[in-house]
Amino acid sequence: MAAKPPKSDPVQDAPQVAEPKHVAAGLPAVGHTLRMAQRQMGVKRTALTLLSVNQKDGFDCPGCAWPEPEHRHRAEFCENGAKAVAEEATLRRVTPEFFAAHSVADLAGRSGYWLGQQGRLTHPMYLPEGGEHYEPVTWERAFDIVAEEIAALGSPDEAVFYTSGRTSNEAAFLYQLFARRLGTNNLPDCSNMCHESSGSALSETIGVGKGSVLLKDLYQADLIIVAGQNPGTNHPRMLSALEKAKANGARIISVNPLPEAGLERFKNPQTPRGSPRAPR
């Protein structure tokens, strides 16, 4: 695309440790979100992209799988979701020159955050046997390499078609069609690693491998126990659901050795006053 990437500060590759906060979200989160998105996408692309997140005529946020409420806000995303979207829709580009300057050993020593902040690939990249740097190839050559490897298999079941949770639903659908047309259903995805144990346990106890609770059930619950997880950090959109449940009289108990700011005090940026709510 013709647009130039917006100027940004050098990527901080080391974690920054500060005093823990005791309030989550609110106007500071809105300001930080917009600054971060503008650095990656520019002003116009930020507005057009974020206003389409989790909308019926838009796209699902790649940040988490929290369900959509019946009534959706125009800004139906959290700070973490905006970061994930900005990284996908960034104007930053990773060219072949980047891989010429960074060997595989160098890249292996970088953090996942640093790698993600470099931008989107502009060419298919291939690591030849014994090579120390990824090299650009044409799309035709990339498809030929894949075809050669598949043709050399003794059976389609020797192939594994892995997808990440960051893959779009549309791309994953086409990918699984290709695998099934080849003759295999070896399609592990992130849920195999994240949810296989819970799915197995649920199948043995209630007969189905997925949760049976709807989002509206959470709103009407009398008691909600949040054990060993940090909604404000890992899936902040849950905080608005907890806020609604508390307004309906729910008692919320958090069991976690780590203090979670979102469960101490939550200021909902979707409301004028923030409506701070805290579990008891």
Task: Report the pLDDT value the prediction gives residue 274, as an integer from 0 to 100.
Answer: 61
Q: In sequence order, which residues have a C-beta less than 8 Å from that of residue 77 and are 6 or more positions away?
A: 50, 53, 54, 61, 63, 85, 237
Structure tokens at 176: 């699984």
Task: Report the pLDDT value the prediction gives residue 99, as an integer from 0 to 100.
Answer: 96
Whole-structure pTM value = 0.70
Task: Report the pLDDT value the prediction gives residue 8, as an integer from 0 to 100.
Answer: 47
Task: Report the pLDDT value the prediction gives residue 277, as an integer from 0 to 100.
Answer: 53
Helix (H, G, I), strand (E, B) or coil at 53: strand
Q: In sequence order, which residues have a C-beta less than 8 Å from that of residue 270 and are 6 or more positions away?
A: 73, 75, 240
Task: Report the pLDDT value the prediction gives residue 189, as an integer from 0 to 100.
Answer: 65
Instruction: Split the chain (280 residues) into runs of 10 and give each run's mean pLDDT.
Output: 48 74 81 86 89 86 80 82 88 95 94 88 95 96 95 95 77 90 84 74 86 88 90 83 91 87 80 57
Q: Which helix (H) or strand (E) segment is 192 a member of?
A: helix 190-194
Task: Report the pLDDT value the prediction gives residue 10, as an integer from 0 to 100.
Answer: 55
Q: How far is CA 144 from CA 46, 137, 140, 198, in A?
A: 37, 11, 6, 39
